[in-house]
Chain A
Amino acid sequence: MKRKLGALVTSFAVAATVLAGCGSSNANDPKTITFWTPLTGEDGAYMDNLVKEYNATNPEIKVKHVVTSDMYTKISTVLSSGKGVPDLTIIHADRVPGYVKQKQLEPMTAVMQAQPELKEANFLPQAWGAGNIDGTQYTVPLDIHSNVMYYNKDLLKKYGAESFLDDNNVTIDEILSLKGKLDEGDYVVNDALIGWVMLAQIQNLGGDIQKDGKPAVNTDVMRQAIEDVKKINDAGLMTPFGEDGYLMFQSGNVLFSTDGTWSSTAHASVENLNFGVTNVYSASPDKFTNRASSHMFAMFNSEQRTDEKEQGIAAFLEFIRSHSVEWAKAGQIPASKEVVESPEFKNYMQSFFTSNEEETKSLYIYTYEYYPYIAEAVDKYVGDLIRGNTPIDEGLQAMQKEVEDKIGESNGGAAADSGK
């Protein structure tokens, strides 16, 4: 009986240890910077390389890169328990205002003091600016990743559309001019990242997604943007709804693909795909915009992050600032001016977007506090709107209402009021 009991106690103890092990983490190790990123794709491997290169320089405090799936959910968990908060994190630009409002980010002040080159003048302005809230710098940008438009050179030639590229602004009117001229099964554009394309049109048409801090989705400009893009669909020039437009571009049936900077590596691996990159098509002949976001280094509040660690983080970020051309391999545009101005970066296709000031300015990052709610609503409705499945008025009202209701709930006002 005694032996049995002993075995039971042992198994119980093992179970308890295993459970306790779940909670352990090396975030408290003073000689390691725990660095979480949401880079679950192949970009995670490029970040691994950068971290490896940095650790090879034998810094006092090494960096441990942890690719974290579902990172934002995990962040909220560790923040509420206060345990296991990573020393350094990569977050998306859209998230910064929300985290700052909730007072969850530590300013980069000490980091910037430790490495004086980590300053506004050394980074692309919109990437740096997206981390600046009310004069305080909360993030240091790694990159800008943008919605861009790839073109199939052979198809452009076939249909005599090379002139579209002359002013680097392919307009919707130019696209519509190909109506009736395409072979069956060929299309002018696909609908990849269509939500971002719409958000770019709003800028092209001189509008915005907010007015005096209030969300503005149900606007004339938004309606105009939807109607303009819908014209492409109605003319039969957009890849059919639900079809894999990205793949159709790769198989040589689509002239223009509006996907991301990061897709260039995948397109390059397709045999016989002769392609280039330009700005996303525009509803206006005078302006073009590429809706962008940024991966940014940020520090969530943590009592365990010592001053020495902050020095270590600063050293790492300075290393990234001067060495992030590696990051261009992942198809991204590094945010460091030193890197984008280097001759090496010019070998990458996406250097087109930093080739002159007008191009750099076209990379537009929305910094409105409630942008994420707007993006969610746009993604939910816009596909059906440009395909004519949902009446535009109805869709615009539903989007505006969804955003307002979510803001009402998140603002801490009485929930009962939000429905009024």
Chain B
Amino acid sequence: MKKKLNLAPALFVGPHLILFLVFVVIPTIYGIYASFTQWNLAGSPNWVGFANYKTILFDTDSTFHMQFFNGLKNTLLFVLFTVPPLIVLPLMIAVALSHKKVKGKTFIQSVLYVPGLISISAAALIFTLIFNKQLGVTSNVFGSTIAWATHQPYAWLTIVVLTIWGGIGGNMIIYRASISGVAEELYESAELDGAGPIRKFFSITLPSINFPLIYTFVMTTAGAFNVFGQPLMMTEGGPQQSTSVLMMYIRQLAFGTGESIAGMASAMAVLLGLVILVVSALQYYVMNRNAN
């Protein structure tokens, strides 16, 4: 029997596939290729094998070695500082909002969600003004005498506050939606068994929204590894490069004011990609195993 060719699925998937190929797969492959070359973006790349990786990973005298490890350290710190609050806070808010007696749920939800729609640069401008020692709310209302951007730990604090302010809404919406999908009977029967609110949260809510939790955890972490705008705008990487994240070094190497050092930048980017891949896989594995 002749099998009829069905074009419909291909046409549904097609546009996305083309975009995925053009904007993700091809650039990724080219980026990996570039990481094995010396390239100024203008001429043709010059194949150097693993030399870039060797320099970055093992040549302790090299600036690129210092930049990679300092950048990675600061990126990891950013992940540690921001990912837990970006999971826990939205979850707490979502649970609180799911309570029957809370009024104005949609309003609260909108207030928390709107910051996520504002671009990082605009948001960072607002926050640099908030933390500005002359004009800012922090000094004029709360009497702080600190120059936030150039002193640790305050420099990190400004970055973290901005990130949480902007990032809380997205995860909260996901948790709200999944919590509302949990069957009401489960809570009712738990109540009959004498379960309190905390017991209900850990024994019913959390296991029921297991998948959205894994999803947000993995995506938030991967997003946090790619941090760039917040430290660039709030602290310019200072003081003493203590908030210079890896993407800032990569960006300056590839698209700085001088001749581009795109090969080295690509190698750093590939290594960062590997770190994200490993961390995400681990997270997924650990959380999924616990869930089962």
Contact = CB atoms under 8 A, between A and B. Distances in A.
Q: Verify that A and B bind, or say they do not.
A: yes
Interface of A: 4-5, 8-9, 11-12, 15-16, 19, 72-73, 76, 79-80, 92, 94-95, 98, 101-102, 104, 240-244, 247-248, 251, 370-373, 375-376, 380, 383-384, 389-390, 398, 401-402, 405-406, 409-410, 412, 414-416, 418-419
Which 4 pairs, one residue from A and one from B, show the smallest C-beta to C-beta distance? A242-B150, A242-B147, A372-B258, A419-B59
B247 to A, nearest CB: 15
Interface string B68-107: 0000000000000000000000000000000000000000
Contacts of B253: 406
Contacts of A372: 256-259
Contact of A76 (B12, B42, B147, B237): B42
B133 A244 contact: yes
A414 B46 CA distance: 9
A138 to B, nearest CB: 15
12 contacts: A12-B11, A102-B42, A243-B133, A244-B133, A372-B257, A375-B257, A383-B239, A412-B43, A415-B48, A415-B51, A418-B55, A418-B62
A241 B151 CA distance: 9
B11 A410 contact: no
A72 B63 contact: no
Interface string B57-68: 001011111100
Interface stretch (B109-117, B191-199, B216-224, B260-268): B260-268
A89 B89 CA distance: 49
A401 B63 contact: yes
B135 A247 contact: yes
B51 A95 contact: no
B54 A76 contact: no
B15 A98 contact: no
Contact of B263 (A16, A92, A415): A415
A77 to B, nearest CB: 9
A57 B231 CA distance: 47
Interface of B: 7-8, 11-12, 14-15, 18-19, 22, 38, 40-43, 46, 48, 51-52, 54-55, 59, 61-66, 132-135, 147-151, 237-241, 252-253, 255-261, 263-264
B63 A402 contact: yes
A405 B62 contact: yes
A391 B143 CA distance: 32
A80 B41 contact: yes
B252 A376 contact: yes
B64 A405 contact: yes
B156 to A, nearest CB: 14
Contacts of B263: 409, 415
A248 B257 contact: no
A389 B240 contact: yes
Contacts of A240: 147
B264 to A, nearest CB: 6
B65 to A, nearest CB: 8
B48 to A, nearest CB: 5
Given A418-B55, A418-B62, A384 B238 contact: yes
Contacts of B22: 19
B252 A415 contact: no
A101 B260 CA distance: 13
Contacts of A414: 38, 48, 51
Contacts of A79: 42
Q: Which of A370, A373, A383, A409 has the most CB of B within 10 A?
A: A409
B264 A415 contact: yes
Given A4-B8, A104-B42, A390-B240, A12 B15 contact: yes
